[in-house]
C-alpha cells in the first residue's frame, strides 16, 4: 500500500505511562507506536505515527492525511470532547477515520461522553487500553479492503 495510515495522537498522550496510569495504563506512547508498527506490517499497512499537543497541528495533519493518507486512526485526547475544528477537519477529508481511546469515555465523567470526533468518524474503539490501537488498525485494514 503506497499511502500510509496516519496514527494521530492529541494532547497529553506524550505523557502516557506516567499520567494517571490507573486510567490510561503503564504503556508509553513509544510502546504503542512499536506495537502499531508491528501490527501494521503484519496487515500490509504502512503507518505515519505522530503526536501533538496543538489543536491546529492536528487539524493540519488531518488535512495532510486527506491528501496523502489511506486513512486515519485518531486519538484526539481532550480535543475529542471540545473541538469542532477537529470534527470539521475530519468532515472535510475523504479517507476513513477511526477514533480510538484508551479508556472507556462512556463510563467516565459526563463531559467526556460527548465525542465530536465520534460524530463524524467511520467508527470508534474505546476502553481496551493500548490494544485499542491494534484493533483500530485491524478495522482500518478491513475498511480499506472494502469490508
Catalytic hit among 24, 79, 116, 133: 24
- Using alpha carbons only, what angle is made at residue 55 by residues 51 and 56, rounded to the nearest 5 degrees? 105
Catalytic hit among 79, 101, 116, 133: 101
101 is catalytic: yes
Nearest alpha-carbon partner for 94 in 59, 61, 67: 67
> Which helix (H) or strand (E) element contains residue 75?
strand 71-75
111 is catalytic: no
How far is the C-alpha of 101 from the C-alpha of 79, rounded, in Å?
Answer: 12
- Active-site residue numbers? 24, 101
Amino acid at each position: 500500500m503506497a499511502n500510509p495510515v496516519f496514527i494521530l495522537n492529541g494532547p497529553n498522550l506524550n505523557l502516557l505511562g506516567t499520567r494517571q496510569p490507573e486510567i490510561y495504563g503503564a504503556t508509553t506512547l513509544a510502546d504503542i507506536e512499536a506495537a502499531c508498527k508491528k501490527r501494521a506490517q503484519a496487515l500490509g499497512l504502512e503507518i505515519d505515527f505522530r503526536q501533538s499537543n496543538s489543536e491546529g497541528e492536528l487539524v493540519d495533519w488531518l488535512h495532510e492525511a486527506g491528501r496523502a493518507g489511506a486513512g486515519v486512526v485518531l486519538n484526539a485526547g481532550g480535543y475529542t470532547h471540545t473541538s469542532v475544528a477537529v470534527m470539521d477537519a475530519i468532515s472535510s477529508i475523504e479517507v476513513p477515520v477511526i477514533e480510538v481511546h484508551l479508556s472507556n469515555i462512556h463510563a467516565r465523567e459526563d463531559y467526556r461522553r460527548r465525542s465530536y470526533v465520534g460524530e463524524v468518524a467511520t467508527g470508534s474503539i474505546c476502553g481496551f487500553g493500548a490494544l485499542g490501537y491494534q484493533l483500530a488498525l485491524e478495522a482500518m485494514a478491513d475498511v480499506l479492503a472494502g469490508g
